[in-house]
């Protein structure tokens, strides 16, 4: 529409030159002459023509006609469709003898053209048969030049104008008799230079109403765009039918130049792209695009877009591959936990102020997911939906780094007792900035949930994130024939984040632990209700409050002489070689301010004896002092730093408290 509108205005300007030269042999009255030109243009196109300066004719071997301040509008005094600061036309002298006006060069200086749909003229000027005023005349134009021009338009649904500047342009017909036009142009849009070359239909096609052919190629800072096809009604901008091909080095640059998406929402780097599509009044169809890079995210899109200018009516098949989630997070503008490799296929559609993925089939590391997700755009993105996994391995994911890519040091909530070495809990801040950049609401189910070596079945949870407050609630899972329920909350809004964990298990089967550690079998119950405050593992541990209880029966221990529990039983219960069976074990812990009390909190029945334990673990200093004694036998202590405790057998005697209950009574009392 816009290119042919330019040609229509150029044709009107050419008409002005023709009539001017026909009248050149007569005395020139500029006002009357301009009024005559205005009548001719009005009759030919329905447009109003006016001038702000005189019309001048310079005769010689190369006669010239010039106009100043030419304005074309839809009505007298209306806004200008075209304004040209100056027009100059150079005419060949010899053809005038044969009543042929051969314009060697028509130059438009500093034109401003506003593109708008226009009705096709109902008639055409007849300069070939002018009666007694104008002798029969033939027109031929060799070249039209434009310098320092501006095109202005307004996209559908927009309230503001868009524009581009044309530094220079040359339009040439196939021959003096007319025919298709060759176009060469250079300009700038939004600070980016471009070049345009190609061929369009003859000017006569605009007036005749025939489909107007267009075949052009554009180059914009690394991007190459080729368009070929036709426009059924060029003056109205209707009946567009183009084949489009585009490729370039950086898709993010193309998005920024197009203005489709706000610049602050576009990633800095996306990667190379190659696009082919059909563009028509119905939108973009047969779209086939590949963009990105494998070390970031390689994305393939196939389908249709109803309205390209606003990216609405999107219906695309999306296939994505990436070495990790980092590339996808970069494209979405959301700091997701990292993991990979990723393979994803889904149907992409737009929704009100956002995007929706349906029919998701994906794999991430050892995990796989199906379901649907939606991303709501805005100052605070919101990711929501539902996902179902046959297998989900959270251990494949890692937390994203802090925004500046560096870890920060966090201060403990309480002053720690000074220690020289041996501490294993880090002071490095846990990266939580990613929780503050978006909101989340996802229903997640997993037929098989793998947590380290533990295997849980039929797991489900509601995962939410609102203004930096993260929650995993409605947790449900099976562990063997037993079940687990609870919730986990993390508040990252304050200077010192807080975490609260409530989990309970009933009839859980330790055989599902996968053989990790010393415990390989057994059934029982547990309950965890703890909270902590801090930005690092050390500060969180140093502020721990709450309780922990566990009671298990028929425990099986692997040959684990190097594990503390194996060493303990080997020292206090005779016959510590090979596998072990423990009929009952109960543990009660109470934490306050980072200090865990085990006072009369540990009871183990081995079948031959009963072992009781008490003492404390100070997470503020990462030290422990626990005492163990076997009924009717020896006792020992476990002391030292958390990372390297040691048993002391030659210390003061350890005796069971008279108040110590049996293991089964302790377990029963907590249920």
pLDDT at 578: 45
Structural contact between residues 527 and 503, judged by C-beta atoms closer than 8 angstroms: yes
| pLDDT for 128 beyond 50 | no
C-alpha distances (whole Å) from 127 to each of 40, 130, 137, 574 are 10, 6, 6, 122
Task: Write the CA distances from 447 to 367, 459, 460, 479, 481, integer angstroms.
Answer: 11, 6, 9, 12, 15
| Residue bearing the bigger pLDDT, 100 or 261 | 100
- 5-10: average pLDDT: 55
Dmax (CA) of the chain: 138
- pLDDT of 10 > 60? The answer is no
- Determine the pLDDT at residue 1: 45
- DSSP helix/strand/coil, 48: strand
pLDDT above 50: residue 129: no
Q: What is the pLDDT of residues 290-301, one digit of tens each?
A: 988 766 778 899
Which residue has 């996808």 as its token pair? 328
Rounded Cα–Cα distance for residues 46 and 119 (Å) = 9
Residue 305 is predicted with a pLDDT of 92
Note whether 105 and 62 are within 8 A (CB). no
Cis peptide bond N-terminal to 656, omega within 30: no
The model's pLDDT over 513-547, given as tens digits with 9 standing for 90+, comes to 765 566 677 899 999 999 999 999 999 999 999 99
* pLDDT tens digits along 330-386: 555 555 666 678 899 999 999 988 899 999 999 988 999 999 999 998 778 899 999
Q: Which pLDDT band, with edges at 50, 70 and 90, does 208 fall under?
A: confident
What is the average pLDDT value for the chain, to the nearest integer? Answer: 80
Asked whether residue 132 carries a pLDDT value surpassing 50, the answer given is: no
pLDDT of the residue at 655: 57
Q: Is the pLDDT of residue 495 over 80?
A: yes
Ranges 193-202, 425-434, 596-605, 628-637: which has the least confidence: 628-637
For 422-464, what is each residue's pLDDT tens digit? 788 988 888 888 888 889 999 999 999 998 888 899 999 999 9
**d(Cα 176, Cα 546) in Å, to the nearest integer?**
94
Q: Is 568 helix (H, G, I), strand (E, B) or coil?
A: helix
* Residues 20-68: tens digit of each pLDDT: 555 554 445 667 767 877 887 787 677 888 888 888 878 777 788 888 9
What is the model's pLDDT at position 416?
Answer: 47
Instruction: Give the model's pLDDT for residue 117.
Output: 66
Q: Where are the domains of the chain?
A: 1-218, 408-422+479-670
- 141 and 182 Cβ atoms separated by less than 8 Å: no
pLDDT-derived band of residue 318, with 50, 70 and 90 as boundaries?
A: very high
């Amino acid at each position: 529409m816009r290119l042919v509108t330019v040609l229509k205005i150029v044709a009107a300007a050419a008409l002005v030159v023709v009539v001017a030269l026909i009248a050149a042999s007569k005395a020139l009255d500029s006002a009357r002459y301009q009024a005559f030109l205005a009548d001719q243009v009005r009759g030919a196109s329905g447009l109003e023509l006016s001038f702000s300066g005189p019309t001048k004719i310079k005769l010689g071997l190369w006669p010239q006609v010039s106009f100043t301040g030419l304005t074309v509008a839809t009505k007298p005094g209306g806004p200008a469709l075209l304004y040209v600061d100056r027009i100059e036309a150079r005419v060949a002298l010899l053809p005038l003898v044969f009543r042929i006006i051969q314009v060697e060069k028509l130059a438009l200086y500093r034109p401003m053209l506003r593109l708008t749909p226009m009705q096709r003229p109902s008639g055409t000027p007849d300069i070939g048969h002018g009666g007694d005023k104008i002798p029969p005349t033939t027109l031929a134009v060799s070249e039209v030049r434009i310098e320092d021009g501006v095109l202005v338009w307004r996209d559908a649904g927009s309230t503001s104008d868009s524009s581009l500047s044309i530094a220079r342009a040359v339009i040439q017909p196939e021959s003096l008799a007319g025919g298709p036009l060759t176009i060469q142009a250079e300009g700038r849009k939004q600070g980016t230079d471009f070049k345009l070359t190609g061929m369009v239909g003859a000017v006569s096609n605009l007036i005749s109403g025939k489909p107007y052919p267009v075949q052009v190629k554009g180059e914009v800072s690394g991007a190459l765009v080729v368009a070929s096809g036709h426009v059924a009604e060029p003056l109205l901008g209707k009946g567009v039918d183009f084949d489009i091909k585009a490729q370039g080095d950086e898709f993010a640059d193309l998005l920024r130049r197009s203005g489709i998406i706000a610049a602050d929402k576009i990633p800095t780097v996306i990667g190379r792209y190659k696009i082919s599509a059909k563009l028509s009044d119905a939108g973009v169809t047969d779209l086939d695009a590949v963009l990105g890079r494998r070390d970031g995210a390689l994305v393939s899109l196939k389908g249709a877009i109803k309205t390209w200018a606003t990216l609405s009516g999107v219906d695309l098949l999306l296939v994505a591959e990436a070495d990790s989630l980092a590339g996808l997070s970069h494209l979405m503008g959301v700091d997701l936990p990292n993991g990979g490799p990723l393979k994803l296929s889904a149907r992409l559609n737009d929704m009100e102020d956002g995007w929706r993925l349906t029919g998701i089939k994906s794999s991430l590391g050892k995990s796989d997911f199906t379901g649907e997700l939606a991303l709501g755009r805005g100052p605070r993105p919101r990711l929501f939906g539902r996902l179902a996994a046959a297998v989900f391995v959270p251990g494949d994911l890692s937390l994203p780094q802090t925004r500046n890519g560096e870890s920060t040091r966090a201060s403990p909530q309480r002053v720690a007792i000074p220690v020289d070495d041996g501490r294993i809990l880090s002071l490095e801040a846990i990266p939580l900035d990613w929780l503050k950049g978006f909101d989340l609401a996802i229903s997640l189910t997993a037929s098989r949930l793998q947590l380290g070596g533990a295997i849980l079945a039929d797991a489900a949870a509601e995962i939410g994130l609102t203004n930096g407050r993260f929650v995993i609630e409605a947790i449900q899972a099976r562990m063997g024939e037993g079940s687990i329920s609870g919730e986990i909350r993390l508040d990252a809004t304050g200077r010192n984040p807080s975490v609260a964990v409530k989990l309970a298990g009933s009839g859980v089967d330790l055989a599902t632990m996968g053989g990790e550690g010393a415990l390989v079998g057994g059934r029982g119950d547990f309950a965890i209700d703890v909270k902590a405050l801090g930005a690092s593992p050390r500060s969180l541990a140093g502020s721990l409050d709450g309780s922990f209880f566990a009671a298990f029966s028929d425990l099986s221990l692997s040959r684990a002489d190097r594990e503390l529990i194996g060493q303990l039983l080997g020292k206090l219960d005779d016959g510590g070689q090979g596998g072990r069976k423990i009929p009952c074990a109960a543990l009660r812990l109470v934490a306050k301010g980072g200090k865990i009390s085990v006072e009369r909190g540990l009871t183990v029945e081995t079948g031959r004896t009963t072992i009781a334990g008490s003492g404390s673990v100070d997470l503020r200093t990462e030290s422990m002092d626990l005492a163990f004694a076997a009924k009717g036998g020896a006792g020992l202590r476990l002391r030292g730093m958390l990372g390297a405790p040691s048993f002391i057998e030659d210390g003061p005697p350890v005796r069971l408290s008279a108040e110590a209950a049996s293991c089964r009574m302790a377990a029963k009392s907590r249920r």
